[in-house]
Amino acid sequence: MSDVGMLLKAITVGESTGRAIPDAATGETIGYAPVHTVADLDTTVERARERQPEWASRGHAERSRLLHLAADEIDAHAEELAVIIAREQGKPLNGAGARFEAAGCAAWIRNAADTTIEPEVLFEAEGTRSELHYVPLGVVAAIGPWNWPALIGIWQIAPSLRMGNAVVVKPSSYTPLSVLAVVELMNRHLPEGVLTVVAGNREVGSRIASHPKIDKIMFTGSTETGREIVRSSAHNLARLTLELGGNDPGIVLPGADAKVIAESLFWGIFINTGQTCAALKRLYVHDSVYDEVVAELKELAESTPMGHGTDEASLLGPLSTPQQFDIVSRLVADAVERGATIVTGGEAAPELGKNFFRTTIVTDIEDGAALVDEEQFGPVIPVIRYTDLEDAIVRANASEQGLGASVWGDPEEARKVAERIDSGTVWINQHGTLNPMVPFGGIKASGYGLEFGAHGLKSVAAPKVITV
């Protein structure tokens, strides 16, 4: 049996008891994921609560050592993990794809293990000293999405374990195998019961949100579901970190060199075939450089290969689910009905397999069109012409979401604009680049709470003041 087959065998169940998980590009069944129930969740949470104190008592150094071993295990099986991700989620092996995601899992674990938080002296005078410490919360529930299932799972899991919590993971029902594989590899080095997957349906997710014995919920997904979690968690006051996606704007300033920025702009839009919360979703380009920017994006869209995730030549893949394919198709059709121009793409690519939609550039479109106002989450970008920078800034800030944004052009001028954008992160001459040491989180309807680095560790711990 191949290494990929061995890893799949370790995480899947039989056809009679599991749920078939399809290859995103072909529909072929990859394996059968377990189907856990609310009763399974309750049992798992109880076990996690029992095991968490011993895990916390091991201290930061020992927990960090074991996390490094878990990262080494992922590195040793990175190719097998990448193939599972490529087939289940659809992202290609190469580029910023499945191999990138698998490697990122190990890198983010190591960063969480190595980031230190020292007690902070708040006040000191003769005879008195007050210190701020961070202690474990207890049980953290990690509810992940389907677009970067393994990596975003690690963003939730690694800091939570590092700070001494036990973790119960609820993967997306569309991509459970990637998460099951990551947890399987990590659990080869972790104590039993401190990291567990509950692969259930929406009923299980709802129970997590209201569970009286879960101390913290980390959720990445839609704003609508985030609001449901807030409502459900209110009675037991579980702490929340919510990353709820975004409709990220980009503003290209007059004088920007289209050829210089084109490739970074393209991948800021189309990373993971546009299925990234912090991807660029709507692009405002000054009239003086509009045609050049559109031409450069068109050339890249038509020359960047799209295909099955395991095809070494592919750099773009399918939409992960039929539902997402339908959303993208609807938004493009609506844009055409409104009189927008399809510069390239604009249609399905059935010859490539299931759920493929050609890389699409849309012009002659304005705010108010669904493709601009809604998060399309696919390989489509509306390019909006502007002449007045003040107007572009107003448009960029008009969305209810505020996860990421970017400004392109002269760095000094771009910084002035960036300071006026309502967003958790604003990039200059790049978009969507993340650093495990730099905090990341949204504002407005994109959620609240920070991940990564010291800020991320503090978000999965309880502040405790000790005064002597």
Residue 1 has pLDDT above 50, yes or no: no
Instruction: State if pTM tops 0.85.
Output: yes
Report pLDDT digits (tens) over 346-368. Answer: 999 999 999 999 999 999 999 99
If asked whether residues 208 and 256 sit together in one domain, one would say: no
Residue 217 clears pLDDT 90, i.e. is over it: yes
**Alpha carbons 451 and 43: distance in angstroms, whole number:** 28
**Do 406 and 455 share a domain, yes or no?**
no
Per-residue pLDDT, 245: 86
- Which residues, other chains included, contact 388 with Cβ-Cβ below 8 Å and sequence gap of 6+? none
Confirm whether 277 is a catalytic residue.
yes
Same domain? For 165 and 302 the reply is no
Q: Check residue 74 and give its pLDDT.
A: 98
Same domain, 256 and 375: yes
- From 243, 296, 375, 451, the catalytic residue: 243
**What is the distance between the alpha carbons of residues 338 and 351, in angstroms, rounded to a whole number?**
28
Of residues 277, 296, 375, 451, which has the active-site annotation?
277
Residue 173: per-residue pLDDT: 96
Do residues 397 and 422 make contact, with C-beta atoms less than 8 angstroms apart? Answer: yes
pLDDT at 90 over 80: yes
Q: What is the CATH number of the domain that holds 388?
A: 3.40.309.10
Q: How far is CA 86 from the centre of its chain?
A: 16
> What are the residues facing 22 on neighbouring strands?
29
Beta partners for residue 169, in sequence order: 142, 197
CA distance 188 to 172: 23
Calculate Rg over the CA atoms of the chain: 23
> Distance (Å, rounded) from C-alpha 108 to C-alpha 98?
15
Nearest residue to 245 via CA among 367, 381, 400, 368: 400
Q: Which two tokens stand for residue 98?
A: 């499945």
From the list 147, 4, 135, 2, the residue with the least C-alpha distance to 59 is 135
Partners of 220 in the β-ladder: 243
Position 5 scores a pLDDT of 85
Residues 230 and 100 in one domain: yes
Kindly state whether residues 324 and 193 are assigned to the same domain. no
Q: Which domain holds residue 379?
A: 248-428
Which residue has tokens 């009239």? Answer: 287
Model pLDDT for residues 205-214, shown as the tens digit of each residue: 999 999 999 9
State mean pLDDT over 256-265: 98
Looking at the structure, do residues 232 and 301 belong to the same domain, yes or no?
A: no
Give the confidence band of 4 by pLDDT, cuts at 50, 70, 90: confident
Asked if 86 contacts 178 with a C-beta cutoff of 8 angstroms, the reply is no
**Strand 280-286 to strand 341-344: parallel, antiparallel, or no bridges (unpaired)?**
unpaired
pLDDT tens-digit profile of 19-66? Answer: 999 999 999 999 999 999 999 999 999 999 999 999 999 999 999 999
In a domain, 179, yes or no: yes
- Report whether pLDDT(279) > 60: yes
Q: Could you tell me if 458 and 419 lie in one domain?
A: no
State the Cα torsion 183-186-187-188 to the nearest 10°. 130
434 within some domain: no
Q: How does pLDDT run across 134-163, given as a tens digit for each residue?
A: 999 999 999 999 999 999 999 999 999 999
For the chain, what is the mean pLDDT? 97
Alpha helices in 187-222 (DSSP H): 202-210
The domain spanning residue 49 has which CATH number? 3.40.605.10
φ, ψ for residue 227, nearest 5 deg: -65, -35
In a domain, 433, yes or no: no
User: Is 91 in the same domain as 145?
Assistant: yes
62 among known catalytic residues:
no
Phi-psi label, residue 358: left if phi above 0, alpha if psi -120 to 50, beta otherwise:
beta
Asked whether residue 329 falls in the same domain as residue 458, the answer is: no
Residue 99 CA to residue 450 CA, distance in Å, equals 26
344 pairs with which residues across the strands?
Answer: 361
The structural domain count of the chain equals 2
- Is the pLDDT confidence value at 2 over 70? no
How many CB atoms sit inside 10 A of residue 373's CB? 15
